[in-house]
């Protein structure tokens, strides 16, 4: 372990705190006879203690955060731990990472405060808080990662721990949405891992600070490492698939509209506000560290960004569910951020406006969605409904909720004096700056991107006006609905709403006090030059907002005229979005559950059938060859037997002649004088041996022995004569 040891505590402490809080909230069960379970009062005390303990864990995490900032100036801002998962893990704590760790802690603290009231009557709270804190540690691990391998490890942990948020209610709709979320996370993670392995093969490194030099050696045509430009692009696209899926990038956005309506509101705020930004963090690494200045890559991100921005806004316009509308809005806002990334890639070293706007848009969107989803949660925890027709007018009597929702809505709409206007203006200025460098067809293409940027901003204004009027202006169906939501929020929930709302106003009203310093502070990841003085509230910049505002009013008029209908004397919202356009049901589920299994099943069945045919053919050929070999062997064996018999006959005849001659020559007198006892005994022995020899002569072994002797004699003759 080498470096600032405090950094690992930012990750490990929330995970350890998750276990402590789970134990603190564990229900006490009877242990034996006479021991009863806890009373209702004891249960309330236990749950309250657990809730306060969760907030204490996050507050202590904030203290560790401040200590890490102080220690970074003394002992360094990096930490390396070798030997973990093969390549080791590394963390870095400077610039952009410090900012986003701070944003993450703010969001977790505010949602923890809000959760005390929101979950007052929920079940499975202990499980929720356990994974709530585990996800905090994993998310900070992603943003603090020094290399993409570390980012991948914590990215996957974060995906699995946050799955329980979506499935929290355990209802059929929640389980289906959670399945979609998990499928996107798992498939995206596997594809990302392929990209990382390919990138490591090409460059021999995954450290973020080393990727630019290593990748551009290959992209510029130098023979370096194992890679080629095609492999670098392939790796980049695979990594983009994984990070883009979490970010909600089109066409991998399908989990966003499904997960948010069923997840608890505090979890939705984190899913939209911070977990999607972990995906954007990976996209920033790709755009600013690997493909910086590569126009082909910039074009890919631009197309995906514009599609995400525009389609998300269209989906939000048509939606009639409060949290689904905010989810589709998140998709659209991610598109704005991706568009800023693309323009930064095109501008390369002159990307200060677009890069600053991109990173600032990330921060602003996190705060907006924190406020808006908690406002939606305040409505849901009173009414347990999200359909706009069912909650119309419910917030008329709740002034605090009305003000906070209005601030979040005005911020995301990009209204001047709210922080969203600053980031949206910077990205728009980046697009205009890029157009000044172009001419011909390329100029008109980027001009079309600018129009879509303004139109998407107009649609943002249109659907946020729809939500505000539906909840806070329209008359409710009955006063009981308004009375339920009109009650005062608890002090913890009010604080959770007021603090981020104040941040939106302060950052939007006085941008000059922080924007230039912030752009320099974030240059560690954007590599952009510091912003020169820019007039945010100039007439030219205000003109862009006026265009979007005009388009937004027209969009709201379209909503009132086309997306509403008269029923029982009043107008109601109608969901006119065709169900056939649901990409999950139209493409992904059939592809993953029917087409691909059917295709691979056919391939496997064909392969098995082909194997059977080949095996049958091989058996038939083998049998044929075996039959031929057996017949040939039998024929050879017969020939060998005949040859052996012939040779055996010749050699045995020759032997008989020799034996007969020996008998005649040496035993003639003995044979004739059989009356002599000694001679008779010798003759008897000779006769037994002679009969035994004749039995031997009748065997095949005798013939083979003489055959071998004949062959040996022939070989010796050939060798020596």
pLDDT digits (tens, 9 = 90+) for 192-218: 999 999 998 888 889 988 888 888 888
Give the pLDDT confidence score for residue 293 in this predicted structure: 84
The stretch 279-284 carries a mean pLDDT of 92
pLDDT, tens digit, for every residue of 602-647?
776 777 777 778 877 777 787 788 778 777 767 776 776 677 667 6
User: pLDDT tens for residues 431-462?
Assistant: 888 888 776 667 888 889 999 999 999 999 99
Lowest mean pLDDT among 73-77, 220-224, 703-707: 703-707
Greater model confidence, 42 or 368: 368
pLDDT tops 90 at residue 317 = yes
pLDDT at 673 over 50: no
Which comes out higher in pLDDT, residue 380 or 711? Answer: 380
Cα–Cα distance measured from residue 500 to residue 395, given in angstroms and rounded to the nearest whole number: 20
pLDDT greater than 50 at residue 508: yes
- pLDDT confidence of residue 307: 95
pLDDT score recorded for residue 674: 46
Compute the CA torsion angle 169, 173, 177, 182 (nearest 10 deg).
60
- Measured CA distances, 218 to 231, 241, 414 (Å): 9, 22, 41
547-564 b/e with 16+ CB inside 10 Å = b? ebbebbeebbeebeeebb
Return d(Cα 225, Cα 201) in angstroms, integer: 8
Distance CA 429, CA 138 (A): 35
d(CA 460, CA 540) in angstroms, rounded, equals 21
> Which pLDDT score, from 0 to 100, does residue 670 have?
45
Evaluated on CA atoms 389, 391, 396, 399, the torsion sign reads: negative
Between 18-27, 72-81, 277-286, 383-392, the lowest mean confidence (pLDDT) is in: 72-81
Average pLDDT of the segment spanning 536-545 = 83
For the chain, the helix, strand and coil percentages under 3-state DSSP, each to the nearest 5: 80, 5, 20
Euclidean distance between CA atoms 649 and 657, whole angstroms: 12
pLDDT of 671 reads 47
DSSP character string of 284-352: HHIIIIISTT-HHHHHHHHHHHHHHHHHHHHHHHH--BHHHHHHHHHHHHHHHHHHHHHHHHHHGGG-H
């Amino acid at each position: 372990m080498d470096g600032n040891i405090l950094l690992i505590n930012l990750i490990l402490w929330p995970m350890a705190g998750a276990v402590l809080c789970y134990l603190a909230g564990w229900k006490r069960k009877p242990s034996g006879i006479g021991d009863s379970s806890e009373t209702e009062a004891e249960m309330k005390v236990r749950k309250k203690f657990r809730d306060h303990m969760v907030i204490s864990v996050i507050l202590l995490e904030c203290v560790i955060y401040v200590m890490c900032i102080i220690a970074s100036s003394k002992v360094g801002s990096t930490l390396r731990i070798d030997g973990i998962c093969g390549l080791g893990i590394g963390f870095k704590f400077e610039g952009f990472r410090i900012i986003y760790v701070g944003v993450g802690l703010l969001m977790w603290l505010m949602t923890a405060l809000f959760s005390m009231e929101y979950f007052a009557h929920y079940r499975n709270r202990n499980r929720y808080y356990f994974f709530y804190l585990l996800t905090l540690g994993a998310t900070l691990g992603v943003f603090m990662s020094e290399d993409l391998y570390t980012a991948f490890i914590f990215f996957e942990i974060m995906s699995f721990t946050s799955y329980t948020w979506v499935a929290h209610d355990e209802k059929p709709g929640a389980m289906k949405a959670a399945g979609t979320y998990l499928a996107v996370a798992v498939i995206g993670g596997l594809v990302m891992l392929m990209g990382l392995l390919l990138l490591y093969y090409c460059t021999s490194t995954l450290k973020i600070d080393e990727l630019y030099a290593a990748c551009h050696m290959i992209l510029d045509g130098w023979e370096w490492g194992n890679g080629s430009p095609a492999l670098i692009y392939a790796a980049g696209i695979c990594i983009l698939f994984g990070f883009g899926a979490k970010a909600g990038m089109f066409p991998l956005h399908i989990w966003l509209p499904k997960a948010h309506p069923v997840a608890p509101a505090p979890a939705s705020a984190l899913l939209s506000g911070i977990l999607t930004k972990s995906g954007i963090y990976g996209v920033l690494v790709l755009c600013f560290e690997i493909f910086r200045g590569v126009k082909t890559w910039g074009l890919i991100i631009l197309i995906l960004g514009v599609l995400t921005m525009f389609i998300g806004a269209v989906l939000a316009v048509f939606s009639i569910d409060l949290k689904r509308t905010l989810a589709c809005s998140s998709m659209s806002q991610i598109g704005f951020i991706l568009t800023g990334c693309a323009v930064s890639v095109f501008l390369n070293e002159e990307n200060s406006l677009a890069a600053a706007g991109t990173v600032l848009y990330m921060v602003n969107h996190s705060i907006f969605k924190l406020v808006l989803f908690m406002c939606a949660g305040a409505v849901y925890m009173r009414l347990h409904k999200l359909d706009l027709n069912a909650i119309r007018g419910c917030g008329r009597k709740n002034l605090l909720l009305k003000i906070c929702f209005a601030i979040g809505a005005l911020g995301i709409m990009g209204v001047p004096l709210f922080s969203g206007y600053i980031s949206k203006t910077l990205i728009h200025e980046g697009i205009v700056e890029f157009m000044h460098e172009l001419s011909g067809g390329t100029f008109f293409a980027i001009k079309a991107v600018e129009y879509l940027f303004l139109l998407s901003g107009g649609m943002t204004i249109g659907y946020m006006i729809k939500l505000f009027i539906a909840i806070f202006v329209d008359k409710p169906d009955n006063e009981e609905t308004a009375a339920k939501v009109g009650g005062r929020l608890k002090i913890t929930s009010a604080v959770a709403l007021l603090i981020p709302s104040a941040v939106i106003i302060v950052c939007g009203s006085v941008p000059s006090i922080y924007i230039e310093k912030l752009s320099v502070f974030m240059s560690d990841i954007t590599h952009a030059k510091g912003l020169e003085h820019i007039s945010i509230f100039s007439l030219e910049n205000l003109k862009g907002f006026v265009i979007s505002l005009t388009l937004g009013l027209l969009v709201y008029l379209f909503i009132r005229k086309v997306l509403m209908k008269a029923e029982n004397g009043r107008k109601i919202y109608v969901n006119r979005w065709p169900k056939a356009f649901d990409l999950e049901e139209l493409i992904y589920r059939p592809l993953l559950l029917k087409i691909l299994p059917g295709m691979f099943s056919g391939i496997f069945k064909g392969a098995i059938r082909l194997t059977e045919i080949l095996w049958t053919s091989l058996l038939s050929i083998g049998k044929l060859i075996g039959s031929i070999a057996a017949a040939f062997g039998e024929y050879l064996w017969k020939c060998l037997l005949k040859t052996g018999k012939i040779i055996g006959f010749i050699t045995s005849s020759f032997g008989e002649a020799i034996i007969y001659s020996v008998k005649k020559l040496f035993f003639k007198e003995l044979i004739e004088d059989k009356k002599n006892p000694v001679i008779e005994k010798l003759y008897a022995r000779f006769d037994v041996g002679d009969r035994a020899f004749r039995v031997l002569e009748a065997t095949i072994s005798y013939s083979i022995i003489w055959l071998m002797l004949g062959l040996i004699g022939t070989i010796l003759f050939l060798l020596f004569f």
